[in-house]
Amino acid sequence: MTYRVCFVCTGNICRSPMAEIVFRARVAEAGLDGLVEVDSAGTGGWHEGDGADPRTVAVLEENGYAGGHTARQFQPSWFSRLDLVVALDSGHLRALRRLAPTEQDAQKVRLLRSYDPAAGDDLDVPDPYYGGAEGFEECLEMVEAASAGLLAAVREDVEGQAA
């Protein structure tokens, strides 16, 4: 049975595609790529059909990540097929929980940085869209830092499903 994870930010062109591509690489490195499906979406549809922001693509490529992306908007009907919905900031967390058809679906929504023990109380990944390259680099650092803990949690869930 495939375990499905969806990362969600605002427009699905900066933070969530970055998290999707980084986490997909972690899943592959862990040998779980046949068991875990990773994608992303935005809370809004402003950029639907667009590729990732060029600055996102640049920082990913500079750090050895590859992968194409087409932006799309998160749909409430997706909750039924997803195991985990990973929000990039607390605004996305609230919006997604409001969209959830059931309380059980709302419990599938988690903040990415909650998987990073070093994150402290600030669990938001700041939106780099209106800034320069350094904001995208900071975003990548946060995504990478949280990916190990997220991978451990997903691995535990996958192994629990297999048992």
Which residues participate in catalysis according to the annotation?
Answer: 9, 15, 127
Distance of CA 43 to the CA centre of its chain: 12
* Distance between CA atoms of residues 137 and 114, nearest Å: 19
Q: What is the secondary structure of 72-138 as a DSSP string?
A: -B--GGGGGG-SEEEESSHHHHHHHHHH-SSHHHHTTEEEGGGG-GGGTT-------TTS-HHHHHH
Determine the distance from the C-alpha atom of residue 54 to the mean position of all C-alpha atoms in its chain, rounded to a whole number: 18
Helix (H) or strand (E) run with residue 38 in it: strand 36-42
Residue type, 159: E
Interatomic CA distance for residues 96 and 93, integer angstroms: 5
